[in-house]
Amino acid sequence: MWSAQSNNNSNPNSASNEKNNLRTLGMTSAISVAEPKPMDISRTNELKEALKPYNVFESEEELNHRMEILSKLNALVKQWIRDTSIARNMPPNVAEQVGGKIYTFGSYRLGVHHKGADIDALCVVPRHIYRQDYFTSFFDLLKMQEEVTDLRAVEEAFVPVIKMNFDGIEIDMLFAKLTLKEIPDSMDLRDDMLLKNLDQKCVRSLNGCRVTDEILRLVPNIENFRLALRAIKLWAKRHGIYSNVLGYLGGVSWAMLVARTCQLYPNAVAATLIEKFFLVFSQWKWPQPVLLKQPDNVNLGYPVWDPRVNVADRYHLMPIITPAYPQQNSTFNVSVSTRTIMQEAFENGLAITEEIIMGKATWDKLFEPPNFFGKYKHYIVLLAKSLSAEDQLEWCGLVESKIRHLIGMLERNPHITLAHVNPEAFPPLNPESGKHCSMWFIGLAFSKCEKSEKSEKGENINVDLTYDIKSFVDTVERQAEQINMFKEGMWIEAKHVKRKDLHTYVSPSLLKKERKVSSSMHRNGNIAGNGNSGSVSPRSQGDTSSRKRLSDQTLDACGKKRRINEAEEQAENTSLVVQSCGEDSNSGFSMDEYKPTLSTNKDVRYYT
């Protein structure tokens, strides 16, 4: 019931079926319907072997273990619904028939999950069972199961969820109540009419399953899609561009881009699909949206992505639209910087895959991570600390969800051309006893100084980032207080660190010189200040001495300033006030910034 969906594509030898597929899959006709050549199949086999060391495939035993877990959860849901129904005076013979079911979505449902990955699940119940029941009586039932650990409920989230570890597998389980008396095991959630008269939280919960199933329905060959998607997801993670919350792309967005490539090259095998993926999206005319199908014309009153109607939708920089009603942009968080970083990664990926296809390189080269810590001269380090592991989990989640707002503020600085956040949260080199700490690094690139009439070297650029950092810290603290999450010992600070001083924060193995990363798009300035690092600490902390690192002198939020000098690193203090951003990190960008820099040396057609 929960196993990966089998390949359901039609016989490729049937010309009529092939033509029918090409008419129905995607917004346009295919770019090429060429059959794979022996070399393409050989490269695909090499790809499978190259992926194995990265643990992207699970064994049969591990897959069966997941199915057993989901079967147990499904039985628990049915038992809970039956008991709750009887408690509400429903006859036992009727309560036995009302059903209820666990559905899966995300990477597990797509069949591309890796070893140890979590499972996204959805609990669907009939109309007489309420969300309050789910977070009380069902939560209590889960507590009683010996296989369940780390159980926690996030009832007030945008999409309410119960998180748990069930017999070694992390599970995020959503809740949706349908307006039906019974939920049979054969229920198909793709029916749009199921959404009628549901509340927004239930619609959002159902959206994950509906989108995942629709993606599988819209690709011409599921097995080729899966293998290509496994490779692209691994590539994105290794290159630090896999994170929806930080403004890159999340799993569903990468899946839709690969699915669109499959539609444009319906008969291609995985090796070819990967090359075409980079070819198409290295030259895509953003913000032209990526669509897998014509948007459904369903009028149930739910908000949908439509820039003709919604002004805010016109400012989305890299729209990738979900194929199920109500259609949404899955890349709302993308900023100018993250789009630029991903575009550069697409271009580099194309160059490498062309080498691989020609036999000049192996697939391992595609999965080599870039040298993030050698790419920029200057970095901002965000440190989030708390007193317990449980507090740290919550605190880091909140801080991470707000980093994109800091990126937006930095982008608005006229002298900063790029703010590159690394999605990985690093532990400290020297952990403090009794404290938990996580660090994020943001690489900064600066515009080239224009030469003045009086100086051949050009004028110095003076930038003060204190206001941006203090505004970010205040935003995080205020949000924590609003949701009653702020606890004693929680604090956050931001420091400027030069590349030469990174060894005090991260392991030397991460700083070793790797293959040279192209930086033609980035020009770095210099932040000077006598080797000092700027930091802003929360207002709730009293002991400032405990917040200082041995290698850095902490600056007061209102006192010192940082200097950017394109020519040399010198110690001077000057300032430039930067305006804070609003809630939507994309909302301040003009339509002019939509114009991408396109390569003209490739022959590729553009399709929505």
Residues 559 and 437 in one domain: yes
Residues 356 and 314 in one domain: yes
Residues 254 and 378 in one domain: no
- Which two three-digit tokens encode residue 366? 């595609």
Quote the pLDDT of residue 575: 30
Q: Pick the range with the lowest mean pLDDT from 171-185, 255-269, 327-341, 512-526.
A: 512-526
Check which CATH number belongs to the domain holding 558 and give it: 3.30.70.590
- Give the C-alpha separation, 104 to 189, whole Å: 11
Q: Which amino acid is at 437?
A: C
Domain with 234, as residue range(s), is: 20-54+219-365
Quote the pLDDT of residue 103: 98
> pLDDT digits over 555-606, tens only?
333 333 333 333 333 323 323 233 322 233 332 223 333 333 333 333 333 3
Tell me: is residue 105 an annotated ligand-binding position: yes
Tell me: is residue 251 an annotated ligand-binding position: yes
Check which CATH number belongs to the domain holding 162 and give it: 3.30.460.10
Per DSSP, what are the bridge partners of residue 420?
443
Q: 299, 301, 326: which is closest to 313 by C-alpha? A: 326
Check which CATH number belongs to the domain holding 355 and give it: 1.10.1410.10
Buried b (16+ CB within 10 A) or exposed e, 312-327: ebebbbbbbbbbbbbb
At residue 135, does pLDDT exceed 80?
yes
> pLDDT digits over 350-367, tens only?
999 999 999 999 999 999
Quote the pLDDT of residue 359: 94
> What residues are labeled active site?
107, 118, 120, 172, 233, 242
Quote the pLDDT of residue 9: 42
Residues 146 and 231 in one domain: no
Residues 280 and 349 in one domain: yes
Average pLDDT over every residue of 299-323: 94
The verdict on residue 12 lying in a domain is: no
- Both ends of the chain: CA-CA distance in Å? 34
Give residue 459's pLDDT band: very low, low, confident or very high (50, 70, 90).
low
The verdict on residue 4 lying in a domain is: no
Tell me: is residue 111 an annotated ligand-binding position: no
Query: CB atoms < 10 A from the CB of 237, how many?
Result: 18
Strands 119-125 and 169-177: parallel
Phi/psi for 421 (5° steps) reads -95, 135
> pLDDT digits over 391-439, tens only?
998 899 899 999 999 999 999 998 899 999 999 999 998 888 889 999 9
Quote the pLDDT of residue 508: 85
- Give the C-alpha separation, 577 to 583, whole Å: 19
Tell me: is residue 486 an annotated ligand-binding position: no
Cβ(383)–Cβ(437) below 8 Å? yes
- Give the C-alpha separation, 189 to 359, whole Å: 45
> pLDDT digits over 206-216, tens only?
999 999 999 99
3-state SS of 84-100 is HHHHCCCCHHHHCCCEC
Residues 501 and 552 in one domain: yes
Residues 112 and 235 in one domain: no
Q: Pick the range with the lowest mean pLDDT from 21-35, 91-105, 392-406.
A: 21-35
- Give the C-alpha separation, 213 to 207, whole Å: 10
- Give the C-alpha separation, 170 to 165, whole Å: 4
What is the residue-averaged pLDDT of the chain?
A: 82
Residues 404 and 472 in one domain: yes
Residues 515 and 409 in one domain: yes
At residue 101, does pLDDT exceed 80?
yes
Average pLDDT over every residue of 500-528: 60
Quote the pLDDT of residue 434: 85
Distances in Å between the alpha carbon of 287 and those of 293, 314, 408?
A: 17, 9, 18
Instruction: Quote the strand ranges of 387-477, DSSP E.
Output: 416-421, 436-446, 461-462
Q: Where are the alpha helices (DSSP H) in 199-269?
A: 200-217, 222-238, 251-264
Tell me: is residue 252 an annotated ligand-binding position: yes
- Give the C-alpha separation, 314 to 308, whole Å: 8
Quote the pLDDT of residue 383: 95
Of 178, 212, 246, which closes a domain?
A: 212
Residues 340 and 410 in one domain: no
Residues 281 and 380 in one domain: no
Of 212, 241, 274, which closes a domain?
A: 212
At residue 5, does pLDDT exceed 80?
no
Average pLDDT over every residue of 279-290: 97
Burial of 479 (0-12, 13-18, 19+ CB in 10 A): middle
The verdict on residue 541 lying in a domain is: yes
CB-hemisphere CA count at 13 Å for 325?
Answer: 17
Cβ(10)–Cβ(17) below 8 Å? yes
How many structural domains comprise the chain? Answer: 3
Please tell me which residue, 451 or 449, carries the higher pLDDT value.
449
Q: Which amino acid is at 382?
A: L
Quote the pLDDT of residue 431: 87
Cβ(579)–Cβ(307) below 8 Å? no
Buried b (16+ CB within 10 A) or exposed e, 49-76: ebbeebebebeeeebeebeebbebbbeb
The verdict on residue 302 lying in a domain is: yes
Tell me: is residue 120 an annotated ligand-binding position: yes
> pLDDT digits over 52-79, tens only?
999 999 999 999 999 999 999 999 999 9
Please tell me which residue, 539 or 29, carries the higher pLDDT value.
29
Q: Pick the range with the lowest mean pLDDT from 110-114, 455-459, 592-596.
A: 592-596
The verdict on residue 208 lying in a domain is: yes
The verdict on residue 472 lying in a domain is: yes
Residues 448 and 341 in one domain: no
Please tell me which residue, 563 or 264, carries the higher pLDDT value.
264
Of 212, 240, 266, which closes a domain?
A: 212
The verdict on residue 607 lying in a domain is: no
Q: What DSSP line would sit under 4-73, residue for residue?
A: PPPP-PPPTT-HHHHHHHHHHSSSS--S--PPPPHHHHHHHHHHHHHHGGGT-S--HHHHHHHHHHHHHH
The verdict on residue 30 lying in a domain is: yes
Distances in Å between the alpha carbon of 264 and those of 53, 249, 268?
A: 30, 21, 9
Look at residue 176 and give its three-state secondary structure. Answer: strand
Quote the pLDDT of residue 408: 94
What's 421's DSSP letter?
A: E
